[in-house]
């Protein structure tokens, strides 16, 4: 493992390799948040961008995860690529992306997904499946012949990791682990190798 690259660059390099080697959702990450009582929660989301500023994902602000991030703006995430025997983990504070970036990403989504974002009150109870279908049909009419803008409740978040660990599967469970950590966003990274 090349532990000299910056961890965000290394994460990007591993994701690029995963896109070639892993057929199923190579950009899926398990995202853990905690609610106001400190009880953890976890679900998969898609990691949409890795940059020097952090790790971006998009969702509904009113969803369970959105409310949890509002109460406790910190998260942990993990990616696993079976074909490469690799795992990446990260932890850090999370903030909401600027509206321009949300609109920029939303514009790249397929139209049905854009309309779905309007139709779904994500994580609220669904009384009947027809409710969603009816809402979608009404939205198709409403936005016919127009671009679909992002709904106000749809947003993106950025984690600025303070810890990133790279794990490469080894023989006899003697895996290689490298942990990068920093005191705060923008500070220098320190690197440690960990026992498997
Ligand atoms: C592979 C995969 C990728 C997903 N990506 C997203 C995503 O990027 N954004 C999102 O809101 N939900 C995504 N989901 C759905 C979430 O896992 C989850 O069901 C939803 O966001 C509601 O989570 P919450 O109730 O904890 O807020 C994805 C699910 C899977 C299985
Ligand atoms: C509800 C929801 N939002 C967002 C995403 C991922 O983002 P996109 O649809 O923009 O690829 C998924 C992917 O499964 C999803 O289920």
109 lines ligand 2 (CB under 6 A): yes
Q: How does pLDDT run across 97-140, given as a tens digit for each residue? A: 999 999 999 999 999 999 999 999 999 999 999 999 999 999 99
Give SS3 for 111.
helix
Q: Is residue 137 part of a domain?
A: no
pLDDT tens for 22-69 read 999 999 999 999 999 999 999 999 999 999 999 999 999 999 999 999
With contact defined as beta carbons under 8 Å apart, do 24 and 84 qualify? no
| Burial of residue 123 (number of CB atoms within 10 Å: 0-12, 13-18, 19+) | middle
Query: Does any ligand 2 atom lie closer than 6 A to the CB of residue 25?
Result: no
Residue 20: count other Cβ atoms within 10 Å of its Cβ. Answer: 9
* Any domain includes 135: no
> Residue 12 and residue 16: Cα distance in Å, rounded?
6
How many distinct structural domains can be found in the chain? 1
* 141 inside domain: no
Residue 83 alpha carbon to ligand 1 centre in Å = 23
- For 165, the 3-state DSSP assignment is strand
Cβ(64) – ligand 1 distance below 6 Å: yes
Residue nearest to atom 19 of ligand 1 (CA): 43
Distance CA 119, CA 121 (A): 7
Domain assignment present for residue 133? The answer is: no
Residue 68 sits in which domain range? Answer: 7-110+151-194
Question: Could you give the ipTM of this predicted complex?
Answer: 0.99
């Amino acid at each position: 493992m090349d532990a000299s690259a910056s961890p965000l660059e290394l994460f990007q390099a591993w994701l690029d390799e995963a896109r070639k080697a892993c057929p199923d959702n190579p950009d899926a990450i398990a995202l853990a948040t905690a609610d106001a009582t400190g009880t953890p929660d976890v679900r998969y989301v898609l990691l949409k961008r890795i940059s020097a500023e952090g790790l971006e994902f998009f969702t509904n602000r009113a969803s369970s995860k959105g409310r949890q991030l509002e109460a406790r703006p910190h998260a942990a995430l993990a990616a696993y690529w079976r074909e490469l025997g690799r795992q990446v983990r990260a932890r850090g504070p999370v903030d909401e992306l600027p509206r321009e970036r949300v609109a920029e990403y939303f514009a790249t989504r397929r139209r049905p997904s854009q309309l779905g974002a309007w139709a779904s009150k994500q994580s609220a109870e669904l009384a009947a499946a027809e409710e969603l279908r009816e809402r979608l049909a009404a939205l198709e009419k409403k936005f016919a012949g127009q671009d679909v803008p992002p709904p106000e409740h749809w947003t993106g978040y950025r984690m600025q990791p303070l810890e990133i660990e790279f794990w490469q599967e080894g023989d006899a469970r003697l895996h290689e682990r490298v942990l990068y950590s920093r005191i705060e966003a923008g500070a220098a990274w320190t690197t440690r190798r960990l026992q498997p």
